[in-house]
Structure 1
């Protein structure tokens, strides 16, 4: 397939899969339960964190987490007392346990109390790294874990500078930054441009990208993300990660 034909093909797949019907089958349905900016970004960050493994399990545990926060994530994060975290004893999603859960909520409280919130923290990390969002994710991780914490919890925030594809954080950033006329992504952050986003690379999107000869690297790591970024930005420099819908849809529905 020639480059022009491939772009035309993928643009059509974006229109096919970047639609509201995508929401009920994806973890993004959780932040769509809310209307305020802080509820959306906090619930989105937490749910993106546990978005690996069985999709039904992800969504079920996401609903449990929101229920434990009284369906008011921003209010809970900003105002909880240490004893309020006791209710999360027993919460678990795969290797993400109750201790990890409580650490994440304490870290978010610190970010909203001392760093003006998630958007401000990510934007500062992005701009302080010469507008390199993947390096910015690494800086954000350092900020996130400035509170006392167990070292094991750090594995739940990926670091692109250590070779990770950072799939879940890149997915979260897509949700927050990308202006989506179809209403799937929220586009509620203005301080980071969509052109800086990277595709949330996983097994499925990686396999499809290789079949379409957009990606040569065999590992789904930070180098693969950078390689795929270059190809997608050639097709749409302003909104490269819209092709996540195309690659995901092609893989999920086994069109290739």
Structure 2
């Protein structure tokens, strides 16, 4: 039986030595040119807030797998909506399900999109906009001392009874141990200000409160360079990494998502002397 050695973690001093290198990579990756290769492009496609919200939520929810395939599939879905996502959601009826037939992305099927649309439709009936719904979930999370994304999951699926049980798995729940990568990516898009990529159209929470969107690329680099010491990819590890990155930038820790993605999936690298762990 092979027992893996514990992961080493950077000291605060060693972390600050890494900061200028991560900042440099981040500044090079977080450029306007990034948009055309990423699902965030579908938020930039629209000018009206409610169109931006809906397109972004659908794009983030489907952001699973290779980016080029995700972009193609989201475009397919929005094309079926005649590129009027909010209008499609608000006016959606059972007969419009015909428009969704034949759509597929990984485990997403028309019935799943149907459920998401019905929930969004009710949200826009009950709330001024999608941000208002998120704001309520955050307030409830604070009252109940629970992760507000768990509240979001509950409240979102309470909006309609006409959805397949299988659709629940497409919206993450931190109380099930999920890292909630796609939800926090969506929040990064909507909350972070003064970014050439993220739109920052919402104000219900501060960028300092964002957790890092945590995927396999981010996880590998975070362990390799000693930013986290846990080996499990779960909600606790997301918090650990965010706390580490908050040392580098307490007002905007999620900005380093670009740097870690750049090192993990693009052609960026750090000097070998900064490697702490073999992963």
Give the TM-score category using the shorter length: over 0.9
Matched, 1:217 2:230: yes
Measured in 2, the distance between the counterparts of 1:45 and 1:20 equals 20
Give unmatched runs, 5+ long, in structure 2.
1-9, 271-279
Structure number with bigger Rg: 2
In the alignment, structure 1 segments of 5+ residues that lack a partner are none
Deviations 1:178-228 (A, max 9, x none): 1133x2000000111111111110000111111110011112211110110
Question: Which of the residues 1, 21, 24 maps onto 1:12?
Answer: 24
Q: Which SS does the other structure have where 2:179 is aligned?
A: coil
Per the normalisation by structure 1, the TM-score is 0.95
**Aligned residue number for residue 193 of structure 1:** 206
Cα distance in 1, alignment partners of residues 175 and 250 from structure 2: 23
Q: Deviations over 1:19-62 (max 9, x none)?
A: 11111111111211111111111100001111011222111111
- SS of structure 1 residue aligned to 2:232: coil
Q: TM-score, normalised by structure 2?
A: 0.87
2:37 pairs, out of 25, 38, 41, with 25
Aligned with 1:101: secondary structure? Answer: helix
| Counterpart among 174, 187, 193 of residue 173 in structure 1 | 187
Displacement over 4 Å in runs of 4+: 131-134
Highest RCO, 1 vs 2 (Cα 8 Å, sep ≥ 6)? 2
Is contact 1:126-1:133 (8 Å) kept?
Answer: no
Q: Do the aligned partners of residues 62 and 248 (structure 1) sit closer, same or farther apart at CA in structure 2, a change above 3 Å counting?
A: same
Q: 1:27 is paired with a residue of what secondary structure?
A: coil
Match of 2:89 among 40, 62, 77: 77
Report the RMSD for the aligned CA atoms in angstroms.
Answer: 1.7
**Closer, same or farther: CA 37–132 of 1 in aligned 2, 3 Å:** farther
SS in 2 for 1:95: coil
| One of 104, 114, 118 as aligned partner of 1:92 | 104
**Alpha carbons 1:178, 1:185 under 8 Å: kept:** yes
Match of 1:118 among 102, 115, 130: 130
**For the residues of structure 1 that align with 2:149 and 2:21, how far apart are their CA atoms?**
31
Cα distance in 2 for partners of 1:13, 1:127 equals 35
Match of 1:163 in 2: 177
What is the total number of aligned residue pairs between the two structures? 255
Aligned counterparts of 2:246 and 2:135: Cα–Cα separation in 1: 21
